[in-house]
Structure 1
Amino acid sequence: MTIRRLENIGIVVEDLAAAVDFFEQLGLTLLGEATVEGDWVDRVVGLDQVRSQVAMLQTADGHGRLELMRFARPTAHPGEGAAPANTLGIRRIAFDVDDLDATVAGLNARGAELVGEVVRFQDAYRLCYVRGPEGIIVMLSEELGDAAAGDHKSDAPAPD
């Protein structure tokens, strides 16, 4: 048994339009939107009488997909909207961008806020965490120097 690829990452949101707008601002492309409901959805997610609006977005390279979901029924359970980065569970989604400063400025203009600050990791990356709609944390990274040219050396220890 082998995983062939990561199919998508799903995020449940209350304001689907705002979440789609946020990720389009980051450069993802909306592939489509649909309403899903019926027995098959109920069985796969383990809930009854599901009705959900979904939007599927794709990264510019065509390899990454993000599924945003708004549950009309049953009502979604509220999460901790401003959960810190060390809260158990899925905390963030990460994207490589070509211009970190311009991306952060564009998101700030739309109400997103830095979680901490923009930092430099060795000579490899500049990166930051941004909190978007509904508390979604997005890590943005921009490769620098040799890393952008394909040399992904790091001082981090190699995996065992």
Structure 2
Amino acid sequence: MTIQQMNNVGIVVDDLAAAIAFFAELGMELEGQAAIEGSWADRAVGLDGIRCDIAMMVTPDGHGRLELSQYHSPALLPSPRNQPHNILGTHRVMYTVDDLDDTIARLRRHGGELIGEVSRFDEHTRICYFRGPAGIIIGLAEYK
């Protein structure tokens, strides 16, 4: 048996509203929000007493989804926010954007920070890594 599709990527955040605003500025749309709790969630995730709010963000083409989760119970476990990209288990989500410079400027207004610098991958591609809410690392690529 093979997989049918990739459903979403999940990221835990400490400020759901700020994360929604950041990814909306990137161009994603809020598809929906829900409160998650109950024994089914405890069993699925392997934690007891889960209470969290989630927001599902979707890319404009409707194919990519990002699930943002803010836990109220059990309490969030702290992690360093400025980890380098080569830490085991560190994830990034890569997005293609129309205008890399404009996107960087808009995301900076939401507290985002460029990690390194904008680099040219090849003659048609500019790329960078960017840190957003809760230390999330995203990749941004512009193809021209």
**What TM-score, normalized by structure 1, do the two folds share?**
0.87
Which residue of the partner structure matches residue 6 of structure 2? 6
Task: Give the CA RMSD over aligned residues.
Answer: 0.9
Higher mean alpha-carbon deviation, 102-111 vs 21-30, is at: 102-111
What is the CA-CA distance between 1:83 and the residue it aligns to?
Answer: 0.6
Aligned match of 1:39: 39
Give, as a single letter, the amino acid of the residue that structure 1 aligns with 2:43.
R
- Looking at structure 2, the residues matched to 38 and 20 of structure 1 have their Cα atoms a distance apart, in angstroms, of 24
Aligned counterparts of 1:61 and 1:115: Cα–Cα separation in 2: 27
Q: Does 1:93 align with 2:100?
A: no
Q: Partner residue of 2:63?
A: 63
- Deviation, 1:58, is 0.2
Larger RCO (CA within 8 A; separation ≥ 6): 2
TM-score between the two structures when normalised by the length of structure 2 = 0.96
Give the secondary-structure state (helix, strand or coil) at the position aligned to 2:14. coil
Please identify runs of 4+ aligned residues in structure 1 that moved more than 4 A: none
3-state secondary structure, aligned to 2:101: helix
Instruction: Indicate if the aligned counterparts of 2:21 and 2:110 stay in contact, CA closer than 8 A.
Output: no
Bigger fraction of residues in strand: 2
- 1:18 alignment partner AA: A
Instruction: State the 1:111 CA deviation.
Output: 2.0
For residues 136 and 17 of structure 2, what CA distance do their matches in structure 1 show?
A: 14
Which residue does the alignment assign to 2:28? Answer: 28
How much has 1:87 moved relative to structure 2?
A: 0.7
AA of the residue aligned to 2:23: F
Residue correspondences, number? 144
From the CA coordinates, give the structure whose radius of gyration is larger: 1
Which residue pairs with 2:79 in the alignment? 79
Structure 2 gap ranges (5+): none
Superposed CA deviations along residues 77-126 of structure 1, whole A, max 9, x for unmatched, are 11221110111113211100111111011112222110000111112310
